[in-house]
Structure formats: C-alpha cells, structure tokens
Amino acid sequence: MLEVAQWKEELNTYRSIQRMFILEGNVTDKQILTEGIESGELVDLNEYLYIYLKTQGYHTIVFFNRIDGFYNIYDDSQQMIHDFYIQAKMKNTSSKIDIQTAMNGIREALGGRDHSVAIIIEMSGQLISSAEHLEEDEIEYLSTLLLAINEATSAPANNSDGWANNLVFMITNKVQELPTWFYRYSPYIKVLTLDFPKEKLRRQIISSYQNYFSDWNSFDKKARDKVINQLVAQTDGFTCIELDSVLYLCQGDTTKNVEEKIRAYRHGRKENPWQEIDDVKITSLYDDLSKDVIGQPKAVQAVVDAITRAATGMSGLQHSSSNRPRAVLLFAGPTGTGKTELAKSIARKIFGAESSLIRFDMSEYSQSHSDQRLLGAPPGYVGYDAGGELTNAVRAHPFSILLFDEIEKANPSILDKFLQILDDGRMTDSKGQTVYFTESVIIFTSNLGLTRTLPDGTKEMLATPKASIEELEQIIVSQLHKSWRPEFLNRIGNNIIIFDFIHEEEAKKILDKQIKQICDNLMEQRHINIQVPDSSELYQKLLATCFKNLEYGGRGVGNVVEHDFITPLSRELSKGTWKSGDSVILKDLAVDNWQSHLISE
C-alpha cells in the first residue's frame, strides 16, 4: 500500500471545511499518485491536484499565474475553461489578464452555485513584490481574494457526495512570501507544508525501479533488501525528482556502482578523491603528519585512525544514517601546539593541496545573526542573493577539510546549526538548496578548558606543562562538558583529540625545523649558503629564548625566530652583506641600540 503524505491526509480531512489551501515547501517536486488507475506514478504537483480534485467530483478545475492567466492543459480543458469564465462572469480571452481583474473573476466564481470550482494559483509569491512592503494595488487584489474566500459557497459536484466547497489553492515556496495578515487570522485558510519524501515513500519509489540494475535478478531476497536499504539511507533528503534522476543514472549498471552514482549526482563530479587514497598513503600518513606537527604523537595517531576509517568507508557504520561527514574531529588543548597546522597537513596529504582546507575564524561569528553569514540571509534581507559563506564553499568544494577555528568564540546559535550537519551530513541554505557535507572532514578547534575565571576576574590555570597528557585530557574534557551542550559533544563522540603542551625537547625540534626551512629557502632563492651550528652562541641564545616562551607553544618559537633571526637576517640581505654564491656561518647575535645584528665567521 502506497504511503500517503501528511499534507495529502490533511487535505482530505479539511477539504470539506476550508475554502483555501496554501501549499508551501517542496512544491516544485513530483508527487506520487495514491488514487485512480495511475496509482504509483510520479506527476508534478499541478497534475496531482487536477487528478485529485477531479476524483473528488469537482466540475471545473483551472490554473492561474500572472503570465498565462487562466488555463487548463489536461483533458476536458476547453469545456472547463468555458464553464469557469461563465461562472466568473468574465470574457473568455486569450489576451493577458491583469491581476485585479483575475481576482474579481475568482471572487465571482467562488460565490457561484452552478457547479463546483477549484482554482490553483501558481507562483503565488510572485503576485506581490514584497510581503513586508506591499503596493496599494497589491493590497487591493489580496483583499479581494480574501473577500472571495469569506464569500465562497458550496456547489454541485460530479460524484455521489452531491456538493463540494468551492476552493482556491495558492502554491508558494514559503508561506512567508505572503503577508501574515492575509492567511494567519482567517478561519477558512489552511497552510499545508509539503515535505521531502520520507523513508517509506523513498523505499516504495526505489522498489519500483529495481529492474534498472543489470544484476538484480542474480540476487536473493536478502541481497535485494540490502541494496534497497542502502539506497534509501543514501537518498535521505532527496526530492522525488532527484530520486528519479539518480535512479535513471543507475539504469543498466550494477548495484556496486550505486553509491558512486549517488555521490556523482550530489556533487556533480565523477571523480572521488577518497578513492584515490591508496594503502601506501594511509600507511605513511602517521610519519608524514608527524613531520609537520611535532610533539603530538597521540593526537596524530587519533587523526590517522579517523582518516583511515574515512578513506576505507568505515566511518559511522555504527549509526543508522550513512550520510554523515567523513570525519568529525575536535582539536582541543593549549595554544600554539599545532591544532591548525595539523588540519593544514591533513589537507595537503589527503587532497594534495592546502587549498583544500576551508578555514572559518569563528571569532568573526560571535553575533546573534552570524548564522546568516554561514548559511545565507532569509529572503528580503541584505545578503540573500550572496548565499552563505559555508554553504557556498561546500557546494563549490565538496571534497574538503572544513576547519572551524576557536569554535568557543562563535555565537551559541551556530552550534545548533551544526547539529543537523553532523547528524545528517546536509544543510538546506536560505534559498532552499541542499548542500551535502558527506565528503568533508569537519574539524573544530578550541582553547577551552585550560583556565577558569575567578570571582575577581582573574584567570587561573587549571593545567601546567608539568601535567601528563592523561591529566591534561581529563581536565580539558571535563571543562568542555561544562561549557557545551551534550547534544553537540555527543555528535563528536570519542573524536575529541587533546594536544599536549610543547616541552623543551619539542621546542628544540621546532626551532631546528624552522631554521632549516629558512636556510633552504635562501639557498634556493638567493643561492646563499647560511649555516647555524648547534654549538654557536646564536643557536644557544635562540634556544634559551624559546625555552622561556614555552607557554606560547610552537607559535612562541616562531615569534622568537622571527624577532631574533629572520629580522636581523633580512637587514644583512638588504645591505648586500652577502651575495649569490657566498657561504656564511653565523655564530652569534648582538644587540645595539635596540636592534639585533648577526655576527658571522
């Protein structure tokens, strides 16, 4: 038995009571017929309403929009149009009808008792320029339509019921496109919301297309049910039109390729970078990431495990929905410990370029309306045409690393928006377009948990570099649970990855890496061979200063290198002290008049 959508049940319930139905939501989608000899067929909303109303005995069914006027393209159309114009007391003309004349005709037709009439007004939101700022003529014809609803009568029907209420249907994307005074307070108007097809309906549609798969007949019932269940789960959020299209893409193909066809339809590209990640890349991932992020072996291993699950398609298999993002990670810990650098390194190693990392500084989203920047402003507001920064980015780059830096600084309302993304792997933007996050890795970073504010306003450190990684993890996770709602943290689960403090051993490695990188760049770009021996006074001074700034982590090391090495080095280069082909051994650092100078052998 075919599932009847909720809006259809409400229409059946209220048809004999109401005089107008405003249909909003998924109105551009196809509907599955649940009555008549064509039951089970997918048709557009207009055709569905026509068949439904005709089945209910309506004598005259016409459609109206501001371009075509009154029309009917289905059977008995000419007779219906003729009868409508008579009951509406209008002249049957092929010329364009102004909206006020049309509303006057609708008022006459709804008040007539010759025969039952139903009028479907398409693109109702386009009848007016703005629901908040109506012109005088727009107020007039909406008021006329409201009077028509108040005066509407019942009339003879073509079925055993005998009589039926004369009806108007207004079809709009969102009921908010109409002024609230028009529909909210009328006892004769019912708003019906058309949702996306539910699981049962998707299952029915998919089952009707099962013979599209070339290997279908070779499966037993258990294998067939598995394929159906897979398709039902992966098409969550699809419209009937999208479902029909993706099944068409699978025509003549084997069931093995169904998942890739769905992915290709969602993102508009056949290439899947996740499938290009071979065993060699996964095996070497720990060593590769460890070269970029020093002193965080436990964090790097946790990331490698998450990426391995994502690349092998095993991520989230314990959940009922298979449409979640590839991985969801929360990097927490002291500042300057490599959280952002690890995200950049993942982008380079997995997708081949740091440009695959899309970074959002969440301190810029602290205002109450900041969610509109991410997902797009609603219709009528500034920025609506531009869309959302997040949804635009993911639509353009579905295979990406999404980094939300310092998530604790975002407005709390934004965390609510993430709940659907983390659960369902999709988000509908302000324009009603669905954006899929199923191929993304989502990374949040946070510095929460290391301090607490005392009554006098001062900050107290809850952990010091002397704490073990286990102690640090316990302190930070405890503070996170005090600061954030469980709904958000539960969706991250055990993927809260704690970064350790940078200690002297790691600070030395970071210093060595940065000095080597600077010297290599000078050799490559200027052909000057710069050397800094570990035994030199310069190196020892740099190292000692780094040890004094361990609370700033790797970022503190970088600050020391910039101030005490790069800056004096750039002075010497600008003065032309060394030329291409020179080999220079730097041995010390001197300060004169608040300026540091390098001393070479």
Are 121 and 48 found together in one domain? yes
CA distances, 190 to each of 21, 193, 279 (Å): 5, 10, 58
pLDDT tens for each residue of 107-124: 999 999 999 999 999 999
Residue 337 maps to a domain: yes
Q: Do residues 478 and 554 share a domain?
A: no
CATH number of the structural domain spanning residue 485? 3.40.50.300
Q: Quote the pTM value.
A: 0.71
Q: What is the 3-state secondary structure (H, E, C) of 34-87?
A: CCCCCCCCEEEHHHHHHHHHHHCCCCEEEEEECCCEEECCCCCHHHHHHHHHHH
In this structure, the answer to whether residues 488 and 525 fall within a common structural domain is no
Q: Where are the alpha helices (DSSP H) in 98-154?
A: 99-111, 136-151
162: left (phi over 0), alpha (psi -120 to 50) or beta: left
Q: Supply the Cα-derived Rg of the chain in whole angstroms.
A: 33
Q: What is the pLDDT of residue 420?
A: 86
As a whole number of angstroms, the distance between CA 313 and CA 542 comes to: 46
**Do both 421 and 570 map to the same domain?**
no
Same domain, 325 and 249: no
374 and 343 co-located in one domain: yes
The Cα–Cα gap between 106 and 104 comes to: 5
Res 1: pLDDT: 57
Domain count, the chain: 4
**Of 194, 220, 247, at which residue does a domain stop?**
194
The verdict on residue 1 lying in a domain is no
User: Do 133 and 157 fall within a single domain?
Assistant: yes
DSSP notation for 391-402? HHHHHH-SSSEE
Residues in Cβ contact with 348 at an 8 Å cutoff, skipping those fewer than 6 apart: 292, 354, 356
* pLDDT at residue 35 in the model: 62
**87 contact partners, CB below 8 Å, separation of at least 6:** 60, 108, 109, 112, 114, 115, 117
For residue 485, tell me if it sits in a domain: yes
What are the tokens at 504?
């002297």
State the residue for tokens 């309306």.
369
**Pair 421, 385 in one domain:** yes
In a domain, 553, yes or no: yes
- The strand pair at 357-361 and 401-405 is best described as parallel
Same structural domain, 564 and 469: no
- Tell me whether residue 19 is exposed, middle or buried, using C-beta atoms within 10 angstroms of its C-beta: 0 to 12, 13 to 18, 19 or more: buried
Q: What does the pLDDT read at residue 412?
A: 86
Q: Report the 10 Å Cβ neighbour count for 39.
A: 10
Cβ atoms of residues 453 and 459 within 8 Å: yes
User: Residue 118 is part of a domain; what is its CATH number?
Assistant: 3.40.50
What residue type is assigned to position 98 of the chain? D
571 located within any domain: yes
Whether the CB-CB separation of 314 and 326 falls below 8 Å is answered with: no
Domain boundary among 270, 303, 326: 270
What's the number of CA atoms in the CB half-sphere (13 Å) around residue 552? 11
Please indicate, yes or no, whether residues 510 and 363 belong to a single structural domain of this protein. no
Number of continuous H segments (helices) and E segments (strands) in the chain = 23, 22
Q: How far apart are the first and last CA of the chain?
A: 90
Last residue of a domain, one of 155, 174, 194: 194
Q: Are residues 44 and 136 in the same domain?
A: yes
User: In the chain, which stretches have pLDDT less than 70?
Assistant: 1-2, 35-39, 93-95, 160-161, 315-322, 377-386
Residue 236's domain comprises 199-270
**Nearest C-alpha neighbor of 115 from the set 81, 166, 161:** 166
The answer to whether 528 touches 582, Cβ cutoff 8 Å, is: yes
Cβ neighbours, 10 Å, residue 465: 14
Amino acid at 460: E
Is residue 263 in a domain? Answer: yes
DSSP state of 599: E
Work out the number of other CB atoms within 10 angstroms of the CB of residue 378. Answer: 13
- In a shared domain, residues 171 and 33: yes
